[in-house]
Amino acid sequence: MKSVFALALAVASVFAANAQEKASPARTATGVAAGSDITINYSSPAVKGRVIWGDLVQMGEVWRAGADEATTFTTAKDIQVQGQLLPAGYV
């Protein structure tokens, strides 16, 4: 009985951890480039009322662009990016 309770507690903890708000909320940008539909899914850094430029991050320094999930890039057809072929699909 104790092992069933421990398992239930562990499962509940996992669900609770996944339900917490992420520091960098998920965002999606879509558009058309080079005649192809483009979708970019990324984690957007949350400002949370802070002054970022010139306070938290000095001018000219890089502020992380979100880190909760990896950025994905999808194109509907083959396109050229800086002279390199980027095949259609998911990157």
Provide the number of structural domains found in the chain.
1
Task: Quote the pLDDT of residue 65.
Answer: 60
Note whether residue 59 is domain-resident.
yes
pLDDT tens readout for residues 33-42? 888 999 999 8
Name which residue leads in pLDDT, 44 or 28.
28
What is the average per-residue pLDDT within 54-69?
A: 77
The owner of tokens 């979708």 is 39
- 57 in Cβ contact with 63 (< 8 Å): yes
**Cβ neighbours, 10 Å, residue 62:** 6
Q: Is the pLDDT of residue 16 over 70?
A: no
Task: Quote the pLDDT of residue 64.
Answer: 66
Give CA–CA dist 54/47, Å, rounded. 13
Containing structural domain, residue 62: 23-90
Instruction: With 0.75 as the threshold, say if the pTM is over it.
Output: no
Note whether residue 33 is domain-resident.
yes
